Amino acid sequence: MKRTLLASLTAILAALLVIGAAVPALAHDALKRSDPAKDATVKTIDEVTLEFTAKVRMPFVIVRAADGAEHQLGAPATDGAVVTQRLSGTLPDGKYTIAYRVVSSDGHPVEGEIPFTVKGAPPTAEPTAGSATEPTTAPTVEQTAGQASQPAVTQTVSQESSATFPIWLLVVVGALAGIGVGFLLSMRKKKP
């Protein structure tokens, strides 16, 4: 009886160790780096680049200003694990957010947001509403003052929700497999 119990407990422990070692391999692909990086300040930018930990497909990328205006040009290009999105022109000074969603190599969606700032951009020759002496960057700064912390919170929530996996399910399956192996070992030794 002690031998059967010991065999069962050993099998369960072995199954849990195997499952514990396999859990990191079940993690979804994630964003490895971006250009511009999170919370970076750049002078000029004509495209954004996102590099993931594995090959991705079906990319969707939006580059949005604090006022809600979108600045992406056409569809994003994918080269394995790298997604590139061209912009519709030189971005004026202000705060921006890159919102992305891709399908990872395991078929699960990966999404998030990357805030960045453009500062020191060359002035544009576009006509502005109002007088020529009116500053064009003041409304953008005022509009973004209350929203500065929002993109980082959204990114954290998005990454957490895309990486969840029912670990308890693995533990239950492993325990059942261990019990089954222990039962088979105990039955094998009881030959008449």
pLDDT on residue 131: 40
Higher pLDDT, 167 or 117: 117
pLDDT band at 146 (very low <50, low <70, confident <90, very high): very low
Q: What is the pTM of this model?
A: 0.53
Q: Which residue has the higher pLDDT, 33 or 158?
A: 33
Contact 57, 103 (CB under 8 A): yes
Q: How confident is the model at residue 186 (pLDDT cuts 50, 70, 90)?
A: confident
Q: Say which DSSP state 25 is in.
A: G
Asked whether the beta carbons of 112 and 100 are under 8 A apart, the reply is yes
Confidence label for 157 from pLDDT (cuts 50, 70 and 90) = very low
Pick left, alpha or beta for residue 120 (phi over 0 → left; psi -120 to 50 → alpha; otherwise beta): left
